Chain A
Amino acid sequence: MKKIYFIVVLGILGITYSCTYNEFVIEELPPIDTTIVISFIDTIQPIFDSKCVKCHGSAGGLNLEAGNSYANIVPDRINEGIHEESLIYKKSDPAGTDSHSTKYSAEEAQLVLLWIEQGAENN
């Protein structure tokens, strides 16, 4: 029984010393050229293909496969007033707080946000 107490005490001490308080620091990227028109088909859909369709495919719920994705995003998941609040951005924003399991990379998030800012066109 002494052995158990020793292991438990050791475990508690180990956990206590591994507790830290680290602030999430977002990766700084070079500023994106906002004059470039972001294409939904050439830029945004490939991000969905690599990050989202594994779960959000044709099985049900939100379908982000090519040919279906645009109609499922615009206008329901776009916030025209506060672009950062658009669900298609916010859910997978790497700096956001949503616990959604898959996140965009910082660069992908920049592109999705710029596409929304440019009017979320089906281009």
Chain B
Amino acid sequence: MKKLILPLLILLVVTVFAQEEQEKKKDRPVAEPFFNGYLIDAQTTVIQDPKTLEFIIQHKFGTFENGSEDIWGIYNSANVRLGLDYVVYENLQVGWGLTRTDMTHDFNVKYTILEQTRKNTIPVAVGFYGNMGISQKPKDAFGAEYVFTDRMSYFGQLIIGRKFGDRATLQTGVSYSHFNQAKIATQDYSRIGVHLNGRVKITETGSFIFNYDQPLKALQLTRDPQVKLNPNIAIGWEIATATHAFQIYASYSQEILPQYYMARETKEEFEFEQFNIGFTITRMWN
């Protein structure tokens, strides 16, 4: 009898592992944690199917500060980004965009390392997003000792997200922003930040969306009291169809590229009148 125990145990262990392996294979990613890769001006862990091309328009009007004089910023000077994203492989996306601030081209990459699964085999989604911005401003805007790399800025972010039930998805993240050139009396080269954003689906096509980005003091070299590390807060509403997403929101920062709202935001006061209306429109082809 004793001779049989060991082979039986081995058989049992092998069977259990084989069953787990089979379950893992059957466990599919959760459906639509976010409708697409953009959430206001942040990124989600969502990447569309391979060979999907997406066109993005991001637009932020002026601040509310002039009130009805310029219809709460609608007639005031705006910021805009036009972008194209393409999914080259499963869970790997590359993109390019043009933003008005500093006349910046951005080249970006997003990779979803893990996808949350329905049976909780993988409880969270994990993604990486990075971009490199190249400013197209004239040379003399970079001062007397210009070199090409002065034009470059970077943003890297690790994102962890989880869908709760059928309606709510929350994401958190940590990021690093860097600018190759800084006016060191009042600017930092680099900044670390933390992020929290999410979506609550209210109707079949409509969702409440929010975003919170907090720059941190770590790596802050300048101690200029004018440099305020105000959070970038945004709340909005998303309407999604099969190939389009439309998001309208109110946000604190008028910047669109993440390294700018994390490390180059210049607003000193955190007040309601410093918020602005913005929208994001995406169109997919696959």
List chain A positions with a Cβ less than 8 A from chain B: 4, 8, 11, 15, 18-28, 55-56, 59-62, 94-99, 101, 103, 105-106
Contact = CB atoms under 8 A, between A and B. Distances in A.
Given A99-B101, A99-B102, A101-B103, A22 B149 contact: yes
Contacts of A22: 145, 147, 149-150, 180-182
A93 to B, nearest CB: 10
B184 A23 contact: yes
A53 B263 CA distance: 28
B101 A11 contact: no
B182 A24 contact: yes
Contacts of A28: 144
Interface of B: 62, 66, 69-71, 73-77, 89, 92, 100-103, 109, 111, 130, 132, 140-145, 147, 149-150, 152, 154, 178, 180-184, 186-187, 189, 226-227, 255, 260, 264-266
Contacts of B100: 101
A116 B162 CA distance: 55
A26 B142 CA distance: 8
Contacts of A25: 143-145
15 contacts: A4-B92, A8-B109, A8-B111, A15-B154, A18-B132, A18-B152, A20-B152, A20-B180, A27-B140, A60-B70, A97-B183, A97-B186, A99-B260, A99-B264, A101-B77
B219 to A, nearest CB: 12
A59 B145 contact: no
A9 B178 CA distance: 19
Contacts, number: 96
B141 A19 contact: no
Given A20-B181, A21-B180, A22-B149, 12 more contacts: A4-B89, A21-B189, A22-B145, A22-B150, A24-B183, A26-B143, A26-B144, A62-B76, A96-B183, A97-B186, A97-B226, A97-B264
**Top 6 A-B residue pairs of the complex, sorted by shortest distance between their CB atoms:** A60-B75, A61-B76, A61-B70, A60-B70, A24-B183, A27-B144
B62 A19 contact: no
Contact of B75 (A26, A61, A106): A61
Contacts of B186: 97
A101 B182 contact: no
Given A15-B132, A22-B147, A97 B180 contact: no
B106 to A, nearest CB: 13
Contacts of A96: 183
Residue among A26, A55, A98, A99 with the highest chain B CB neighbour number at 10 A: A99
B264 A27 contact: no
A116 B1 CA distance: 101
Nearest to A61: B76
B56 to A, nearest CB: 20
A120 to B, nearest CB: 21
A105 B140 contact: yes
A42 to B, nearest CB: 24
B180 A24 contact: no
Nearest to A14: B132
Nearest to B89: A4
A106 to B, nearest CB: 8
Nearest to B156: A15
A97 B266 contact: yes
A5 to B, nearest CB: 10
Contact of B143 (A11, A27, A59, A61): A27
A11 B141 contact: no
Given A15-B154, A18-B152, A24-B183, A60 B101 contact: no
A103 B141 contact: yes
A27 B182 CA distance: 15
A98 B181 contact: no
